[in-house]
Amino acid sequence: MPSGVDVKGPKPTRADFATDQTVRWCPGCGDYSILAQVQKVMPNLGVARENIVFVSGIGCSSRFPYYMNTYGFHSIHGRAPTIATGIKVSRPELSVWVVTGDGDGLSIGGNHLIHAMRRNLDIKILLFNNRIYGLTKGQYSPTSEFGKKTKSSPFGTAEQPINPLGVALASECTFVARSVDIDTQHLSSIIERAARHRGTAFIEIYQNCNIFNDGAFEDFVAREVRTDRMIQIEHGKPLVFGKERRKGIRLRGFHPEVVTIGESGVSESDLLVHDETPQEPALAYLLSRMSYPEYPVPVGVFYRADRPRYEEIVEQQSIQATARFGAGSIERLLDSGETYKVT
Amino acid sequence: MSTETEVVPPRAKVTEIDTVVIRFVGDSGDGMQLTGTQFADTTALVGNDLATLPDFPAEIRAPAGTLAGVSGYQISFSSRDIKTPGDQPDVLVAMNPAALKTNIGDLEEGGILIVDTDAFTEGNLAKAGCKTNPLKDRSLTGFRVFDIPLTSLTLQAVAEAGLTGRQATRCKNFFALGLVFWLYERPVDYTREWIEKKFKDHEQMAKANTLALLAGYNYADTTEVFTNHFRVRKAQLLPGTYRKITGNEATATGFITAALLSGRPLFYGSYPITPASDVLHELSRFKNYPVKTFQAEDEISAIGAAIGASYGGALGLTGTSGPGVALKSEAIGLAVMTELPLVIANIQRGGPSTGLPTKTEQADLFQAVLGRNGECPVAVVAPATPADCFAMAIEAFRIATRFMTPVFFLSDGYLGNGAEPWKIPPKSELPELDVRFRTEQEGFQPYLRDPKTLARPWAVPGTPGLEHRIGGLEKEDVTGNVSYDPQNHEKMVRLRAEKIARIASDIPRVEVFGKDSGRVLVVGWGSTYGAITSAVEELQEKGRPVSSIHLRYLNPFPANLGDVLRRFEKVLVPELNLGQLSMLIRARYLVDAIGLNKVQGKPFRVSEITRAIEELLRG
Ligand code: SF4
């Protein structure tokens, strides 16, 4: 069960999670769809509104908390994971969500993101990746593709982009997933799974910024081509894609290759079968690096693991210390150490 | 405490004195901090008043025997009430040439000098840059020199414990300690018990250290190297239960007490930094108390988490030193904007940049009062003595929660590491911390203010019906919604300033030490209290027209400060910086405050302040 579970009272609806604030994203922005999916999933979780906190940093995506009728904290650039950490450690019963972007989470706040994930706090991190800086009007971001021309890189960038899922895996994150803003069904199912995961859940969401980086993902997320150019990975199932579901991914050594079922003797049993919970996240890492046009772009849950949560361990230590030494009091505290009396 | 001891009571002639200043100096590997702390612990238990000044190098282990590696611990103890660790030592215990060279200049004329002759080898002399051996070149004639082969005597004494040569040599600090215990009539029992506890899993070490301690004591007693030993009677302290405490320990204890008094758990977010790490170490021990510590990935995360915890209803605390505060500045602004209670403890050190990590300074006052973007007022308090850290830590949270504001707690390396006897207050004397959350839904607005304090309600997640959003963007008055309205912005800026200004009516007025008006008023803040008060006391005894005040509240200032300042002809402000408080006072009160400024990484000597006052009185 997710944190903050409260089954009392009538089941809330999607509308209960919307606020009276005018949503200020540009018309057509991918953020709308993500907001709608989160609001849709919330009532399913059985968590009372007052027990949910959305924390964000700075950037377009970070406006998110204003539009959720829960507790919300719109903080400073890159620092949402730190605020969320303080909330979760001091109030483990709350359901804590972090909304961040590629600049906020992977550039200015990169350090916090990796450490929050390695601690495995039971928080949910939604990283809206639009591969651009939107709020500051169009500079390249750490996920912008190599050579991209933007306002701050008129001759093209000189930087290799970072792989958000690779960062999450390297940070020992216990739930690593990817989805896409416009694939609403897939997105909502991944958000719900993340919510139910116990530990840090990280979802990279491809999000279209139609003002400064329109069509960044169009080549593979467009409805007409999606089935051929993306692959939904599912636990225990072979990696199959394509309109006729005749294409698949086979592993040759450490190298994934695209094959066609029925051609050159390839059958479904030759295909790679996805495992979300392997001993080592090596396979998830390989999948995270598959990109269009060489490969279909994978979405789904890449990796998950069950590990003790930071806030839980901290809580346990307090319980154990109290059992061993007895609960502290002012008198005990002040008299600890070598005392002596003066008469 | 027990006075049972296997050592014979001293037979030598006894001289009574009221105050002694001893400085132990040696290589950073020689255990001088331990020796000093043990001496201070026993001295407290014996009933003297005391003040200490540890002084260590920034490097953990600078090359052995070099000048850079010298570590020292000074303690002043007395039968009278004392407020500083003393200007100059009367006794110097030097474990090697480098330690002697860097400290001999401070020793009082005619003072006692104890040296380990074994350490004065050619190699060590060269490392210390001594061209000649000071033990032989007559440069020490002005002192009472006791040259004792401490190392070889220690090796003989601990031989039966069967340690390696290197380990055995390391016991020599206990030999020296035993010697000094004898010299000042202190019992060895407390240190013996301490050794047993400390080395309970290392029997050989326990045995060897005990042997060294006793051997030092007995050596002094039987060899008649010392013809005299000295008696410092118990101090006439106020009756009560006491405990020797360092500033950092008192700080941690105060913060935990604030949690217990308020019924809200303490959350401490911190990143290791000298000289604040001891606060983290100390707080991490109290797991059976409502205390959670979080060692963050960096300074920003440390404060971010503290803000998150405050938002969740805990007492959010972050602690660091100046460079860390620089990194936290933006987040402090966030706490100002979101009007959450938060305490930022700055254990100041020499700056700028990495500066002098292990040395003391008071140069972060501007940073605390002014150092952020925008109009960003916060409350600032500063403890005056190591023990006062306790009271001011509680006070910081009282203000933070009552006014819903960040509060700076400005300690420094000298206070943090220095120790003194602390009279443990009975619970009944502790302040009340009445902390309440808003739960009432009717009429709730996130930025609706208390008419008196202007504090907004503390409405924590988990409270049904009070769901709301806060953040760093400008808030609309009352509703807390984002607002870019120009009039509203000015209104909010003024409200935030007014809220901090109103704290002045909630804090004590400053009290003048000495006459209420006169020629010279000395104004101090923070850790200079001891030196200033001692200097003023000394001059008042001589009938000089000088008084002093000590500010424990730096923003806002106490309500009567302006009146007090104007009643004196001259105002002197001694500070360990280039004049930060004096500039604030000049700006605020248009008073011609005169600075006495020192930035050497060291506290003031009393004599430096008396001299400055005398000069002002003459001028
Ligand atoms: S700038 Fe881009 S990301 Fe930001 S709101 Fe507009 S469309 Fe969305």
Please report which confidence band the pLDDT of residue B378 belongs to, taking 50, 70 and 90 as the band edges.
very high
Q: How far does B265 lie from chain A, in Å, by closest CA?
A: 8
Looking at ligand 1, which residue's alpha carbon is closest to its atom 3? A209
Q: Is the CB of A34 under 6 A from ligand 1?
A: no
- The Cα A191–Cα A186 span in angstroms is 9
Asked if B338 lies within 8 A of A73 by C-beta distance, the reply is yes
Name which of B296, B334, B462 is nearest A94 (Cβ-Cβ): B462
For residue B287, list chain A residues with Cβ-Cβ distance below 8 A: 317-318, 320-322
Determine the pLDDT at residue A146.
Answer: 97
Asked if B309 lies within 8 A of A89 by C-beta distance, the reply is yes
Instruction: Kindly list the distances between the CA atom of residue A162 and the CA atoms of B235, B383, B483, in Å, as whole numbers in the listed order.
Output: 67, 47, 35
Q: Is the CB of A56 under 6 A from ligand 1?
A: no
The reply to whether B190 touches chain A by the CB within 8 Å rule is yes
Q: Hey, what domains does chain A have and what are their CATH numbers?
A: 14-216 (3.40.50.970)
Determine the pLDDT at residue B3.
Answer: 40
Determine the pLDDT at residue B57.
Answer: 83
Asked if B334 lies within 8 A of A76 by C-beta distance, the reply is yes
Question: Which residues 449-478 of chain B have a CB within 8 Å of chain A?
Answer: 460-473
Task: Report how far ligand 1's centroid is from the alpha carbon of A138 (Å).
Answer: 10
Neighbours of B24 (CB within 10 A): 33
The reply to whether A340 touches chain B by the CB within 8 Å rule is yes
Residue B81 pLDDT exceeds 70: yes
Ligand 1 pocket mutation pick from A32, A207, A212 by most atoms within 8 angstroms of CB: A212
Residue B587 pLDDT exceeds 60: yes
φ/ψ (deg, to 5) at B292: -120, 130
φ/ψ (deg, to 5) at B493: -60, -45
Determine the pLDDT at residue B578.
Answer: 98
What top-level class would CATH report for the domain B243-429?
A: alpha beta
Neighbours of B401 (CB within 10 A): 25
Asked if B461 lies within 8 A of A87 by C-beta distance, the reply is yes
Name which of B338, B463, B469 is nearest A65 (Cβ-Cβ): B469
- The Cα B107–Cα B93 span in angstroms is 10
Same fold, B4-231 and B518-618: no
List the pLDDT tens digit at each of the 343 positions of chain A: 456 555 556 788 999 999 988 899 999 999 999 999 999 999 999 999 999 999 999 999 999 999 999 999 999 999 999 999 999 999 999 999 999 999 999 999 999 999 999 999 999 999 999 999 999 999 999 999 999 999 999 999 999 999 999 999 999 999 999 999 999 999 999 999 999 999 999 999 999 999 999 999 999 999 999 999 999 999 999 999 999 999 999 999 999 999 999 999 999 999 999 999 999 999 999 999 999 999 999 999 999 999 999 999 999 999 999 999 999 999 999 998 889 999 8
CB B336 within 8 A of CB B379: no
User: Who's near A282: CB < 8 A, 6+ residues apart?
Assistant: none
Place of tokens 């006692």: B112
Task: Report how far ligand 1's centroid is from the alpha carbon of A209 (Å).
Answer: 5
Asked if A338 lies within 8 A of B244 by C-beta distance, the reply is yes
Asked if A86 lies within 8 A of B334 by C-beta distance, the reply is no
Task: Identify the CATH homologous superfamily for domain B4-231.
Answer: Pyruvate-ferredoxin oxidoreductase, PFOR, domain III (3.40.920.10)
The per-residue DSSP string of A94-156 comes to SEEEEEEEHHIIIIITHHHHHHHHHHT-SEEEEEEE-SSBTTTTSB--TTSPTT--BTTBTT-
The pLDDT of B183-201, averaged and rounded, is 95
Asked if A326 lies within 8 A of B470 by C-beta distance, the reply is no
Q: Dig out the tokens for B342 from the structure.
A: 């938060």
Residue B5 pLDDT exceeds 70: no
Q: How far does A269 lie from chain B, in Å, by closest CA?
A: 46
Name which of A90, A330, A339 is nearest B312 (Cβ-Cβ): A90
Q: Is the CB of A233 under 6 A from ligand 1?
A: no
Residue closest to B320 by CA, chosen among B264, B364, B383: B364
Sign of CA dihedral B106, B110, B111, B115: positive
Q: What is the pLDDT of residues B511-537, one digit of tens each?
A: 999 999 999 999 999 999 999 999 999
What is the chain B residue with the closest CA to A83? Answer: B308
The reply to whether B353 touches chain A by the CB within 8 Å rule is no
Strand partners, A303: A176
Residue B98 pLDDT exceeds 90: yes
- The Cα B357–Cα B362 span in angstroms is 13
Percentage with pLDDT > 90 across chain B: 93
Q: Is the CB of A284 under 6 A from ligand 1?
A: no
Grouping H, G, I as helix, E, B as strand and the rest as coil, residue B301 is helix
- The Cα A75–Cα A84 span in angstroms is 10
The pLDDT of B528-547, averaged and rounded, is 98
Whole-number average pLDDT of chain B: 95
Chain length of chain A: 343
Q: What number does the ligand 1 atom closest to the CA of A63 have?
A: 5
Name which of A49, A53, A328 is nearest B288 (Cβ-Cβ): A328
The reply to whether B271 touches chain A by the CB within 8 Å rule is no
Determine the pLDDT at residue B60.
Answer: 75
CB A308 within 8 A of CB A242: no
Determine the pLDDT at residue B25.
Answer: 97
Q: Is the CB of A210 under 6 A from ligand 1?
A: yes
Determine the pLDDT at residue B2.
Answer: 38
The per-residue DSSP string of B84-111 comes to SS-SS-SEEEESSHHHHHHHGGGSPTT-
Residue closest to A304 by CA, chosen among A286, A325, A279: A279
The reply to whether B425 touches chain A by the CB within 8 Å rule is yes
Sign of CA dihedral B274, B275, B280, B285: positive
The per-residue DSSP string of B318-333 comes to EEE-HHHHHHHHHHHH
- Mark out the alpha helices in chain A (DSSP H runs): 30-41, 80-90, 102-103, 110-119, 164-170, 184-196, 218-221, 226-229, 282-288, 310-325, 330-335
Asked if A328 lies within 8 A of B316 by C-beta distance, the reply is no
What does the domain layout of chain B look like in residue ranges? 4-231, 243-429, 518-618
Determine the pLDDT at residue A4.
Answer: 58
The residue among B49, B288, B390, B444 with the most chain A CBs within 10 A of its CB, best to mutate, is B288
Does ipTM exceed 0.90? Answer: yes
Omega of the bond prior to A296 within 30 degrees of 0, cis?
A: no
Grouping H, G, I as helix, E, B as strand and the rest as coil, residue B303 is helix
The reply to whether A48 touches chain B by the CB within 8 Å rule is yes
For residue B289, list chain A residues with Cβ-Cβ distance below 8 A: 327-328, 333
Q: Is the CB of A130 under 6 A from ligand 1?
A: yes
Q: Dig out the tokens for A11 from the structure.
A: 């089941």
Q: Is the CB of A48 under 6 A from ligand 1?
A: no
Residue closest to A202 by CA, chosen among A211, A212, A215, A191: A191
φ/ψ (deg, to 5) at A322: -70, -40
Asked if A73 lies within 8 A of B190 by C-beta distance, the reply is no
Task: Report how far ligand 1's centroid is from the alpha carbon of A28 (Å).
Answer: 8
Looking at ligand 1, which residue's alpha carbon is closest to its atom 8? A29
The pLDDT of B337-345, averaged and rounded, is 98
Please report which confidence band the pLDDT of residue B10 belongs to, taking 50, 70 and 90 as the band edges.
low
- The Cα B287–Cα B535 span in angstroms is 43
Determine the pLDDT at residue B8.
Answer: 52
Determine the pLDDT at residue B278.
Answer: 96
Determine the pLDDT at residue A343.
Answer: 86
The residue among B48, B236, B284, B287 with the most chain A CBs within 10 A of its CB, best to mutate, is B287
Q: Which has the higher per-residue pLDDT, B65 or B548?
A: B548
Q: Dig out the tokens for B362 from the structure.
A: 């008071």
Residue B13 pLDDT exceeds 90: no
Grouping H, G, I as helix, E, B as strand and the rest as coil, residue B593 is strand
The reply to whether B310 touches chain A by the CB within 8 Å rule is yes
CB B178 within 8 A of CB B190: no
Q: What number does the ligand 1 atom closest to the CA of A213 have?
A: 2
User: Who's near A188: CB < 8 A, 6+ residues apart?
Assistant: A37, A40, A41
Q: What is the pLDDT of residues A177-198, one digit of tens each?
A: 999 999 999 999 999 999 999 9
Element (H, E) at B54: strand B49-55
Determine the pLDDT at residue A7.
Answer: 53
Place of tokens 């909304």: A99
Radius of gyration for the alpha carbons in chain A, expressed in angstroms and rounded: 23
CATH of domain B518-618: 3.40.50.920
Spatial strand order in the sheet of B144-148: B49-55, B70-78, B19-27, B91-94, B112-116, B144-148
Question: Which residues 565-584 of chain B have a CB within 8 Å of chain A?
Answer: none
For residue B460, list chain A residues with Cβ-Cβ distance below 8 A: 91
Q: Indicate the DSSP class of residue B308.
A: H
> pTM score > 0.90 for this model?
yes
- Total beta-carbon pairs less than 8 A apart between chain A and chain B: 214
Omega of the bond prior to B85 within 30 degrees of 0, cis?
A: no
Type of residue numbered B62: A
Determine the pLDDT at residue B1.
Answer: 36
For residue A51, list chain B residues with Cβ-Cβ distance below 8 A: 461-462
- The Cα B564–Cα B593 span in angstroms is 13
CB B77 within 8 A of CB B85: no
Q: What number does the ligand 1 atom closest to the CA of A28 have?
A: 7
The reply to whether A283 touches chain B by the CB within 8 Å rule is no
Q: What is the pLDDT of residues B421-478, one digit of tens each?
A: 999 999 999 999 999 999 999 999 999 999 999 999 999 999 999 999 999 999 999 9
Looking at ligand 1, which residue's alpha carbon is closest to its atom 6? A26
